[in-house]
Chain A
Amino acid sequence: MMMLPDPSVLFAQFLGGLTAAMFLFLIASGLSLIFGVLRVLNFAHGSFYMIGAYLTWQGVQWLAPAPERFWLAVLSAAIAVALLGGLIERLLLRHLYIREELYQLLFTYALVLILADGAKVLWGTQQLSVARPPSLTGSLQVLGATLPIYNLFVILLGPAIALLFWFVLKRTAVGRVVRAAALDREMLSALGANVGWIYTGMFVVGSFLAGLGGALVTPVKSIVPGMDVEIIVEAFIVVVIGGLGSFWGTFLGAVIFGQVLAFGILVVPRFSIFAVSALMAVILIARPWGLLGRPVR
């Protein structure tokens, strides 16, 4: 007979999974937006996340004496990553839209290689870490489990961003144009919209989310080379589970991923990585468009 663990342990595990899920949601939502509109699977998204983390560390170093410097560093890192993404889209990626997916995939993989080495040149290979901001130190006791306030902030930020995007996409004129661009590029440009700039805009927003995810993860995880290729596969799994291009699907996918990983460690510690990859394969086999996505073409 397997002993059922203490409920407070289970709850702590659930909270840990939820925190991880919200970080993943931040990153994967950008990936999903870019895929949904541009139909490009961006391998460099994980690299943007990593650059966001390194820039935050750099910002915190530069702003050393200021007490709440963390927030300024986070914001400027995310904006810098967004600009980098915009520049790449404008100068290079846009010329590959007419080509096959393979070329777009390999282009974003080339960015992975270049950005990973660029980060090594600028910041070296040692582990870096950032302290939690003073305004969010300390922790709460919830149902016997300890929840750091910073994690609570992340758990609340995820749904907040999801709601914000839902509102912008579904309830505003900008969102309508973006949804139209996802559905039919030619028709939209025939109606007079500048589709090129919409694509750039979506790439900037997606990159911003990756940069923000990387920036906010710094107090929780140390910054190391290789965090880019690791996160991108996880983000792929999340968007595939939820449905490529589906926003709420990504949210659901992130929550499922976080919980499978958190509870998988309790049940079969060694195979939790296996479990999430297998989940991705099962979803692709049974429902290629994901849990909440719609079949395309």
Chain B
Amino acid sequence: MTVLRRTPWLLIVFVAALCVPWLGSRFYTFLATQITILALFAVSLNLLLGYTGLVSFGHAAYFGIGAYTCAILMKSYGVPFLGAFAAAGVMAASFGLVFGFFCVRLTRIYFAMLTLAFAQIVWAICLKWNDVTGGEQGLPNVPYPELDWLSSLPGFGGLRAGELFYLVALTLAAVCFAVLRRIVQSPFGRMLTVIRDNPERAEFIGVNVRLYELAAFAVAGLFAGLSGALFAIFNRGVFPDFAYWTRSAEALIMTILGGMGHFWGPVVGSLVLVVLNQQITSYTQYWPFVLGTILIVLLFAFPGGILGALHAGRARLPGWRRWPAELKPRDRNHA
């Protein structure tokens, strides 16, 4: 057991993921790219959902803002990828600050409704501002970043543009995950969990709850924007439904499916969801039906998600360290 615990699992997973273009087919690389990007999106949402206890129903807004910023800069202005990527994050974080300023004043269902309202505004702008966003047609043919330097390295020569982009996206996502993990383990992140568990008490001990929530909102927006920028290039185009409310719901499902009580829960959720989607759509076109059914089973039988269920099973084994208390799946009854 000790050996298992000391194994650097994160490093192993990362290196294994890096090898996908050489080991698997083009299709696996495609799936892996999708998983990586959506995982980043879902983890950014979980900063609000699992760590701060804020149910955002409009997280797709920041995904969409990041995607459109990156696509417009790269396609219309020829900005290099890294510049557009950074700009997407800054743009999404700025909108997160502005929208969040109003959202954190509200609680619970009203908070969720206002995040939804802002996301609908973003969606309506993407849909109707034809000159800039391309309207209903979106912006197709977003160029791949210039990656000639990467393909000139030994061993990388045989890779296609999509596979090279996967390596870049995976690396950038890994950096984002590392930063997010630092954030949630920092005193700032601990304070977010205090606010989640008992906002009134946090207020009493002198914490500026709204300020912390706003900061979490902006940071979540930042990383959602970065994931949107990666998705814009992966998808070779951006479309208004990037910011539609059903995409926010998808991110919530991924987070709940993996388990919002754990940092890596949303990653597991996006992995399972993308692979299941791919498997099931090869049998039937009725994937939403299957997804809805899975979701209902999950809500009733495994409210802690996959990692929550694994943890509950594992806790019975001797020798396993319990997860730190701050990561316990939430159980707040308001009945």
With contact pairs A110-B295, A113-B295, A236-B113 given, residues A100 and B334 touching in the complex (Cβ less than 8 Å): yes
In this assembly, does A97 line the interface, its C-beta being within 8 Å of a C-beta of chain B?
yes
Contact A274 B128 (CB under 8 A): yes
Contact A103 B114 (CB under 8 A): no
- Minimum CB–CB distance for B98 against chain A, Å: 11
Contact B124 A277 (CB under 8 A): yes
Contact B114 A109 (CB under 8 A): no
B interface footprint on A107-135 (CB within 8 Å = 1, 0 otherwise): 10111111011101100000000000000
Contact B249 A98 (CB under 8 A): no
Tell which of A100, A113, A121, A244 touches B291, judged by Cβ atoms closer than 8 Å.
Answer: A113
Interface size class of B (residues with CB under 8 A): 35 or more
Of the stretches A18-26, A78-86, A205-213, A278-286, the one at the interface is: A278-286
With contact pairs A41-B109, A274-B121, A284-B113 given, residues A102 and B49 touching in the complex (Cβ less than 8 Å): yes
Of the stretches B88-96, B296-304, B306-314, the one at the interface is: B296-304
Contact A273 B127 (CB under 8 A): yes
Contact B114 A285 (CB under 8 A): yes
Tell which of B253, B286, B292, B335 touches A120, judged by Cβ atoms closer than 8 Å.
Answer: B286
With contact pairs A96-B299, A117-B286 given, residues A101 and B128 touching in the complex (Cβ less than 8 Å): no
Contact B292 A112 (CB under 8 A): yes
Residue of B nearest to A186 (CB): B335
In this assembly, does B293 line the interface, its C-beta being within 8 Å of a C-beta of chain A?
yes
Tell me, in angstroms, the Cα distance from A120 to B291 when the chains sit together.
15
In this assembly, does A171 line the interface, its C-beta being within 8 Å of a C-beta of chain B?
no
With contact pairs A41-B109, A102-B49, A244-B109 given, residues A92 and B124 touching in the complex (Cβ less than 8 Å): no
Residues of A within 8 A of B118 (CB): 281
In this assembly, does B82 line the interface, its C-beta being within 8 Å of a C-beta of chain A?
no
In this assembly, does B112 line the interface, its C-beta being within 8 Å of a C-beta of chain A?
yes
In this assembly, does A153 line the interface, its C-beta being within 8 Å of a C-beta of chain B?
no
With contact pairs A273-B127, A277-B120, A281-B102 given, residues A105 and B57 touching in the complex (Cβ less than 8 Å): yes
Tell which of B117, B121, B292, B299 touches A114, judged by Cβ atoms closer than 8 Å.
Answer: B292
Tell me, in angstroms, the Cα distance from A188 to B152 when the chains sit together.
74
Tell me, in angstroms, the Cα distance from A111 to B289 when the chains sit together.
9
In this assembly, does B333 line the interface, its C-beta being within 8 Å of a C-beta of chain A?
yes
In this assembly, does B316 line the interface, its C-beta being within 8 Å of a C-beta of chain A?
no
In this assembly, does B155 line the interface, its C-beta being within 8 Å of a C-beta of chain A?
no
Q: Can you list 30 A-B pairs, Cβ within 8 angstroms, ordered by A?
A: A92-B296, A92-B300, A101-B109, A101-B112, A103-B299, A103-B303, A106-B299, A110-B292, A110-B293, A110-B299, A113-B289, A114-B288, A114-B293, A117-B288, A229-B246, A233-B120, A244-B109, A270-B129, A271-B128, A273-B127, A274-B124, A274-B125, A277-B124, A280-B113, A280-B117, A281-B102, A281-B117, A281-B121, A284-B110, A288-B114
- Using a CB–CB distance below 8 Å, which chain B residues touch chain A? 49, 55, 57, 102, 105-106, 108-110, 112-114, 116-118, 120-121, 123-125, 127-130, 245-246, 249, 252-253, 256, 286, 288-289, 291-293, 295-296, 299-300, 303, 330, 332-335
What 20 additional pairs, Cβ within 8 angstroms, besides A98-B335, A103-B299? A41-B112, A102-B256, A105-B55, A107-B295, A109-B249, A109-B292, A110-B293, A110-B295, A113-B295, A114-B296, A118-B289, A229-B245, A233-B116, A237-B120, A274-B128, A277-B120, A280-B113, A281-B118, A284-B110, A284-B113
